[in-house]
Structure 1
Amino acid sequence: MIDPHIQAMLEAMAESGFQLPDPLEPASLRLMLDAPIPAPPVEIAERRDISIDADGAVIAGRLYHPAPEEILPVVLFFHGGGWVHGSLDTHDRLAAILAEQG
């Protein structure tokens, strides 16, 4: 038995035309998973790409600030994606929503 919420999600995915890549290989699946979900952007006062130097390695980051004129608490969001997939763009909406509603 499939959880009703999962079943509804699977049905919505099928209705939208979602398909797994064929053939199902790591490179093609990673390409699909690294594509942002099509949706309107979340408006936020400041969205800025940054670079973080970590012992000679450069890590890409993105700063979201709902009110740049105010000093607010900070949330540091990491999405590992199994350290295989995901990007700043795939999680842009989620990060902006967290910043706006935080």
Structure 2
Amino acid sequence: MDVKNDTQKNQYELKTPEGMAVAVYRPVGTHAIMFTHTEVPEALEGQGIGSKLVKAALEDVKAQGKMVIPMCPFVAGYISQHHEYLDLVDPVQRGALNIS
């Protein structure tokens, strides 16, 4: 299962046998990506699909040299548990989202 960035739909996608898992985003200028929503097929919830999706999305954003604005609670939670991605989030936003 590979994560793809569908730039036409502004979402990272992970196709599964049960349906599409998505991490929806909005570009913010040329320097940042705002993640707004993550969705995983109900039958796959709690099986790590969302984490795999978000990890791949964050790696792609990092490779692009952009910042992340994690408005989606799942993305914010993932970053708070995986500190290697904290540098993608502006320090002011880290405080506002209680990401430490």
What's the TM-score once normalised by structure 2's chain length? 0.29
Structure ranking higher in helix proportion: 2
Higher CA-based Rg: 1
Query: Whose relative contact order is higher, 1 or 2, with alpha carbons under 8 Å and at least 6 apart?
Result: 1
**TM-score, normalised with respect to structure 1:** 0.28
